[in-house]
Amino acid sequence: MSIRPFALLLALTTVFPSLANGIYGDGPDSIAPVGVVRGLTDEQLLETVQRQTFRYFWHGAHPVSGLALERSNTVYAEFYWDYINEAWDEPNFSTSPWGPDAGAIGGTGFGIMGTIVAVERGWIGRDTAVRRLIKIADFLMHSDCFHGIYPHFMNGRTGKTIPFDRVDDAADIVETSYLLMGFLCAREYFNKATPRETYLRNRINTMWNVANWRWHTNGENKLYWHWSPNNGFDMNFPVWGWNECLITYIMAASSPGHPISKAVYDGTWTGSNGFENGKSYYGLTLPLGNYDRGGPLFFVHYTFMGVDPNGLQDSLGHDYFLQGRNHTLINRAYCVENPKHYKGYSEKCWGLTAGDSFKGYAAHCPEVDFGVIQPTAALSSMPYTPKESMEALRYFYEVLGDKIWRDYGFADGFSPQHDWYAPSHLAIDQGPIVVMLENYRSGLLWKLFMNIPDIQKGMKNLGFQSAYFKAK
């Protein structure tokens, strides 16, 4: 992207609320991209990165439904697993284009949370944003849904399921939990008694009330990730802990209509062999997880876009801020150690998580290290490691910016070792950047989500303790 004058950036960061009204007369309805401008303060840089990254969900959304597209580019795959398998050198002879209409249900939830940030910071007008969210909600009300649970991917033009794989062709409770986390935050934020905001809240309440989490127990003390009218529970994939799915149990326990019991949480999540860790890596103890050195960093991002980890403890005494901080610092320390001697890794250039690579999509981590850095890994960890993450942010923007800074924010990944810079942006990577940077700056999404009575009740029933739950 060409470099634009600093004056333009200054205008974009300080004058947005007074820009000419958009088509609905309540504020801006578009966001102009900016190039790399050096010498910004930390606050200016954070604002710039958040705003430009949000463009993925605003200007890059599916034109019919408003859903967040899974990715900004097209790959070739009959099923998404075909593309994933490329990372493991599995042959993929698919000729079907995958991506142009593929809406990401979880990524849409992240985009909804980003929309709240956009309104709060004056990038987009309030009613303009509400109209977009109504468009999404109305589309989903008439799209494929299974006992109130949405699929992983959906055609943003038709509302029909795009199968992840042959058997994984319907309900996905994990992706649905991200979607509804976003919608519930929107319900709390857009709380005015206007016709459109009232309508939006009613739509959200309908989705929230009918989502049947209990169905996914199959009558057992287990919570199953997938169900299909064609294949039932044949995926046979309980949501074991520790990973990115804690939010799924929180949403399921918080449901006003179809909640799960704590026995399900204990039986599948905390009761799994992979829940606790307790080992020390680089002098840091990692409380949770069965991955050596922690696994991909999205484990400590997705749930905590809404759930505030500060002061959060479960009934077993685990500290969730400590989990996020130490997981991040271990991930960074591994990149600094760089045992595979990849070009580019350093104290300023680090972060392994799921995303695109030069050989396909992979959940990058110390155990799966191809020499690929995902900017979202370090940036979305800002609440846990502000000094280290800001250092990475400045390096990505000021040093690598000409290679990885794009109209939708940073490219999904890059590898100096292979001289590869992703042509793609992914919803599940862009969304946490906007939201977690905002939680670092203001705690906005944390406050919205953690103050919801249903969520407080559900989390308390699971045995969590938080300052939000104390009598006020």
Stretch among 90-99, 351-360, 400-409 having the lowest mean pLDDT? 90-99
Residue 6 confidence (pLDDT) above 80: no
Write out pLDDT tens, residues 194-245.
Answer: 999 999 999 999 999 999 999 999 999 999 999 999 999 998 999 999 999 9
Half-sphere exposure of 14 (CA within 13 A, CB side): 7
Pairing of strands 171-172, 360-363: unpaired
Residue 54 confidence (pLDDT) above 80: yes
Residue 21 pLDDT: 65
Residue 115 confidence (pLDDT) above 80: yes
Mean pLDDT across 117-123? 98
Identify which of 273, 290, 294, 274 has the alpha carbon closest to the alpha carbon of residue 282: 294
Mean pLDDT across 277-300? 96
Residue 364 pLDDT: 97
Residue 14 confidence (pLDDT) above 80: no
The percent of residues in the chain predicted with pLDDT above 90, rounded, is 90
Residue 177 pLDDT: 98
Structure tokens at 43: 């606050």
**CB-based burial label for 105 (10 Å; 0-12, 13-18, 19+):** buried
Residue 101 confidence (pLDDT) above 90: yes
Domains defined for the chain, CATH in brackets = 6-469 (1.50.10.140)
* pLDDT band, very low/low/confident/very high, at 366 (cuts 50, 70, 90): very high
Residue 370 pLDDT: 97
SS (H, E, C) the chain: CCCCCHHHHHHHHHCHHHCCCCCCCCCCCCCCCCCCCCCCCHHHHHHHHHHHHHHHHHCCCCCCCCCCECECCCEECCCHHHHHHHCCCCCCCCCCEECCCEEEHHHHHHHHHHHHHHHHCCCCCHHHHHHHHHHHHHHHHCCCCECCECECEEECCCCCEECCCCCCCCEEHHHHHHHHHHHHHHHHHCCCCCHHHHHHHHHHHHHHHHCCCHHHHCCCCCCECEEECCCECCCCCECCCCCCCHHHHHHHHHCCCCCCCHHHHHHHHHCCCCCEEEEEECCEEEEECCCHHHCCHHHHCCHHHCCCCCCCECCCCCEHHHHHHHHHHHHHHHHHHCCCCCCCCCCCCCCCCEEEEECEEEECECCECCCCECHHHHHCCCCCCHHHHHHHHHHHHHHCHHHHEECCEECCCEEHHHCEECCCCEHHHHHHHHHHHHHHHCCHHHHHHHCCHHHHHHHHHCCCECHHHCCC
Distances (CA, A) of 344 to 121, 260, 293, 389, 416: 34, 46, 20, 16, 6
Instruction: Give dist(CA 196, CA 202) in Å, integer.
Output: 10
The model's pTM: 0.94
State the chain's mean pLDDT as an integer.
Answer: 94
Mean pLDDT across 340-367? 97
- Asked if residue 245 lies in contact with residue 260, where contact means CB atoms within 8 angstroms, the answer is no
Q: How many residues does the chain have?
A: 472
Mean pLDDT across 432-449? 98
Strand pairing partners for 112? none
Write out pLDDT tens, residues 367-407.
Answer: 999 999 999 999 999 999 999 999 999 999 999 999 999 99
Write out pLDDT tens, residues 20-36.
Answer: 467 777 989 999 999 99
Instruction: Give dist(CA 382, CA 227) in Å, integer.
Output: 35
Strand pairing partners for 405? 410
* pLDDT band, very low/low/confident/very high, at 470 (cuts 50, 70, 90): confident
Residue 68 pLDDT: 98
Residue 107 pLDDT: 98
Residue 471 pLDDT: 56
Identify which of 68, 71, 73, 94 has the alpha carbon closest to the alpha carbon of residue 83: 94
* pLDDT band, very low/low/confident/very high, at 41 (cuts 50, 70, 90): very high
Instruction: Give dist(CA 218, CA 216) in Å, integer.
Output: 5
Distances (CA, A) of 257 to 27, 203, 209: 37, 15, 5
Mean pLDDT across 308-328? 97
- Asked if residue 395 lies in contact with residue 416, where contact means CB atoms within 8 angstroms, the answer is no
Cα torsion 219, 174, 270, 367: sign: positive
Residue 334 confidence (pLDDT) above 50: yes
Mean pLDDT across 141-146? 97
Distances (CA, A) of 96 to 83, 85, 160, 312: 11, 15, 17, 45
Structure tokens at 198: 């009232």
Specify the residue for token string 């829940």.
Answer: 275
Residue 8 confidence (pLDDT) above 70: no
Identify which of 401, 396, 362 has the alpha carbon closest to the alpha carbon of residue 379: 396
